[in-house]
Structure 1
Amino acid sequence: MSPAVDRWNDLKPRVASAAVMLVVGAIEVWLGGWWFLILITLLTAVMIWELARLSQPNQPQHALAIAALAALCMLVDEGWPSVSAWIVFPLVPLAFMATPRRQQKAVAIISMAVLISGHGLFVLRDEEGTIAFLWLISVVIISDVMGYFAGRILGGPKFWPAISPKKTWSGTVAGWIGAAVVGAAFALCGHGNGWLIVLSPFVAFAGQMGDIVESWLKRRLGAKDSSNLIPGHGGVLDRFDALTGAMVLVMLLAWLFDLPLGG
């Protein structure tokens, strides 16, 4: 295969991934309520299962048990708001720490990020509304698409070659620019103010770091993909690692101050 062809050999999987995120996002936005919670819980549990399976491949029953625990924690926290996430969510990383596995501390921390992200997606849709949810999904997708094309067309120095050899600085910066354009579009449509243009690149960067962290973990564990649940595309964590990183940052910022969203 020639270098020119090889450069674009993962275009179809990325397009499919973006389509999956758009479809999932649309379903989440329109359904809401318990249907939305079930969907978020399922995605969260599958990602936790993938983490458990990656770090302890010879104990599938442990992976299923930890995934079931994660699903229960999500349902308890969101279904009964009087139960704080900070009470139930730590049970999952504790379960990772209580069972022998590779990269134990890293996997435990990432599992907490996945749970916080799942919680955040539900809260964002339920409390901030459809526009906030669409903004987040748009920032993650557009920054990924812009980064992909700029990185392969412009090339240049690598962003972090030891962990993610394909990522370039040109693609990273293009992702930030794409995110700023998304923020500007939402602000111009009356769904936020000028601070949304500033915030969006930071959210995109958090998404890029989510992707980097997952790449680092897979390299340390000797895995190419988080699983093979999505034929030709890898696992659910492979597809939603950037969204996880972005959502964790949005949750932190929302805790510190009001997001610049709304009409």
Structure 2
Amino acid sequence: MLRGADPTRWDDLRVRLGSGAAMVVIGTIAILAGGVWFQMLAVFCVSVMIWELWIMIHPSRPTVGMLLAALTASVLSGFLSVEQGWFLLFFPIVPALGILGSTRERLTFGAFAFAIQAAGWGLVVFRHEQGAGWLIWLILVVAVTDIAGYFAGRRFGGPKFWPKVSPKKTWSGTIAGWIGAGLVGAVFWAATEAGPILILLSMFISFAGQMGDIAESALKRRMGVKDSSTLIPGHGGLFDRFDALLGAAVTMLLISAVFDVPGVGF
């Protein structure tokens, strides 16, 4: 053991790995199955995250959060079951109702709720239009970023990336995440018909995922909570586990809407 190393820094690894493995199995099955199976998983996760978002801001009013989560499930299911673009006009319903029902942090709830819904809808659209391989690439970029950052940050430590917002994140972990994501892009470039731009795109999406993580960390510090909930042992809540994927998905949704990125299709 290195001199001065903290022997407790790995204590949560076994629990994290167990919970992570279960999520990987469930997610992989849903992604490969596609269709209604992946849609149901996305609707469930988004709805739970809306509930977690609400109880972080209004811990004394969980019932309202449950109602918003149920409404989210209904609205998002409607998005995914019809082809008409006009149905997206219902997209702001949950954020708007949350804003009206909030007694504090109204714009915070509205912005996060909108982003959570957009990310969930975008992931389902990506799976339907681009296939499982594309979605697996996106998730692997986020997962490898997190894993590389976790181990590098604990092994090397060093200066903090943004101590006022996320005191545990280090520059060593952040850069390791970019490198890991670039390697994922290189593997998919070699194994598919994607172009070399996929390496740079993977690293940019890695950064977007880290910013999603930072945004949720800032929210938790602002609300004075450690985790969004205690649903997942070793990981906190779904919002804690998927905050980086939300940032990556929203960013990729914007990129695909604005730019025609060559050589990315699988």
TM-score scaled by length of structure 2: 0.93
CA distance change for structure 1 residues 246 and 262 in 2, over 3 Å: closer, same or farther?
same
Equivalence for 2:264: 261
Q: Would you say the 8 A contact 1:7–1:152 is kept in 2?
A: yes
SS across alignment from 2:102: coil
CA distance in 2, matches of 1:100, 1:77: 25
- The within-5 A match list for 1:43-122 is 43-84=45-86, 86-122=88-124
- Find the partner of 2:177 among 175, 189, 194: 175
Q: Would you say the 8 A contact 1:102–1:221 is kept in 2?
A: no
Q: Which residues of structure 1 form unaligned runs of 5+?
A: none
* In the alignment, structure 1 residue 199 sits paired with structure 2 residue 198: no
**What percent identity do the matched residue pairs reach?**
47
Equivalence for 1:5: 7
CA distance change for structure 1 residues 160 and 67 in 2, over 3 Å: closer, same or farther?
same
* In the alignment, structure 1 residue 151 sits paired with structure 2 residue 183: no
Q: Would you say the 8 A contact 1:76–1:83 is kept in 2?
A: no
* In the alignment, structure 1 residue 131 sits paired with structure 2 residue 147: no
CA-CA distance at 1:19 after TM superposition: 2.2
Equivalence for 2:222: 220
* In the alignment, structure 1 residue 235 sits paired with structure 2 residue 229: no
CA-CA distance at 1:31 after TM superposition: 1.8
Give a deviation string over 1:131-179, Cα, whole Å, max 9, x none. 1011001101111111111111111110011111110011101100100
Give a deviation string over 1:28-85, Cα, whole Å, max 9, x none. 2222112221111011100001111111112222111111111111111110121446
The runs of at least 4 aligned residues of structure 1 exceeding 6 Å deviation read: none
Equivalence for 1:252: 254
Which range moves more in the overlay, 98-107 or 69-78? 98-107
Q: Would you say the 8 A contact 1:181–1:197 is kept in 2?
A: yes
CA distance in 1, matches of 2:98, 2:79: 20
Equivalence for 2:165: 163
CA distance change for structure 1 residues 101 and 27 in 2, over 3 Å: closer, same or farther?
farther
Q: Would you say the 8 A contact 1:25–1:137 is kept in 2?
A: no
Q: Would you say the 8 A contact 2:34–2:132 is kept in 1?
A: no
Query: Alpha carbon RMSD of aligned pairs, Å?
Result: 1.7
CA distance change for structure 1 residues 73 and 83 in 2, over 3 Å: closer, same or farther?
farther
CA distance in 2, matches of 1:3, 1:225: 26
CA distance change for structure 1 residues 77 and 123 in 2, over 3 Å: closer, same or farther?
same
Give a deviation string over 1:234-255, Cα, whole Å, max 9, x none. 1111111111111011101111
- The within-5 A match list for 1:23-34 is 23-34=25-36
Which amino acid is 2:60 matched to? Answer: N
Q: Which residues of structure 2 form unaligned runs of 5+?
A: none
Which range moves more in the overlay, 140-149 or 253-262? 253-262
CA distance in 2, matches of 1:112, 1:63: 15
CA distance in 1, matches of 2:193, 2:219: 37
Which range moves more in the overlay, 12-21 or 226-235? 12-21
Which amino acid is 2:130 matched to? Answer: E
| Matched positions, count | 262
Give a deviation string over 1:78-127, Cα, whole Å, max 9, x none. 10121446411211110111012432211210111110110011011100
CA distance in 1, matches of 2:152, 2:87: 39
